[in-house]
Amino acid sequence: MSTAPELISPETPARNTPAIEIKDLHKTYGGFRAIDGLTVTVPQKCFFGFLGPNGAGKTTTIKILMGLAQADSGSVRVLGMSMPEESLEIRREIGIVPDDSLLFDYLTGAEYLEFVARLYGLARPLARERSRELLELFQLAENRKKLIGEYSKGMRKRVAMAAALIHRPRLYLMDEPFEGVDAVGARLMKDILLEQVRHGATVFLTSHVLEVVERLCDEVAIINRGKLVAQGTISELRHQGAAGLTTLEDIFVNVVGAEPYTDKLEWL
């Protein structure tokens, strides 16, 4: 069985070009400021964690990076290209695992992977071969003829990640990729992503599981109410935070200003 597809991309941008460069980004929905002056730079060949509480603007930011939403103002560059002006070129170079697993329920896993591969211009025989290899890699081969609509949430995440890998992208945008995935599947997905970073890819990841982010990510950005509140390596964030903060969870709770649990209910 083949291992994860090796990332080989001779047309990578210059080494000092960020994988993602967001400057003074603004996005409003009906008067609500989802993104409020956000500025974030993500270096190449990096496992990057993008964190924030619910409603902080993480998914909106990823939708803008994908080209599924357009900012009100500010600038976004992905792999040295401007979004949305070069959105088609950008989409060819990114792999996406969306939060809500936007898959086609009436295709089998094999059909879906072949379909995605063909969208990216892979010849039919190569699309079929990679589909088969990825289904085996993600331990979905025995379900290759099962409709995706019958998949569990963890299986849907696996097939979504397989689809993100199939064209060997230079950048992965992943919104809660491990949600609903069992420990075995999550370990497999983490190992594959780490291997892709070693091969030169960049991973941009959102997750509420801070222990996973702390283990995987080279650098982390934390946003709150659409604004950047902290960015750096875990070590740098420890130095920036209050004394005694050692875990990413402690740092996160501190910088977003979460209230401590004090109002206890008598009956609990």
Whole-number pLDDT of residue 260: 66
Buried b (16+ CB within 10 A) or exposed e, 3-20: ebbebeeeebbeeeebbb
Whole-number pLDDT of residue 9: 45
Whole-number pLDDT of residue 253: 87
Query: Of the given ranges (15-19, 55-59, 159-163, 208-212), which has the lowest mean pLDDT?
Result: 15-19
Mean pLDDT of 92-121: 90
Classify the phi-psi angles of 45: left when phi > 0, otherwise alpha if psi is within -120 to 50, otherwise beta. left
Whole-number pLDDT of residue 268: 77
> What is the band of 251 on the pLDDT scale with cuts at 50, 70, 90?
confident
Query: Of the given ranges (10-19, 133-142, 187-196), which has the lowest mean pLDDT?
Result: 10-19
Whole-number pLDDT of residue 155: 92
d(CA 239, CA 264): 32
Mean pLDDT of 172-184: 91
Tell me how crowded residue 139 is: count the other CB atoms within 10 A of its CB.
Answer: 13
Q: Which of 8-22, 56-70, 240-254 has the highest mean pLDDT?
A: 56-70
State the amino acid at position 63 in one-letter form: K
Tell me the whole-structure pTM to 2 decimals.
0.88
Mean pLDDT of 18-43: 95
Mean pLDDT of 122-140: 95
Beta-carbon contacts of residue 84 (< 8 Å; ≥ 6 apart): 67, 70
Cα of first residue to Cα of last residue in the chain, in angstroms, is 52
d(CA 193, CA 199): 10
The domain ranges of the chain are 103-168
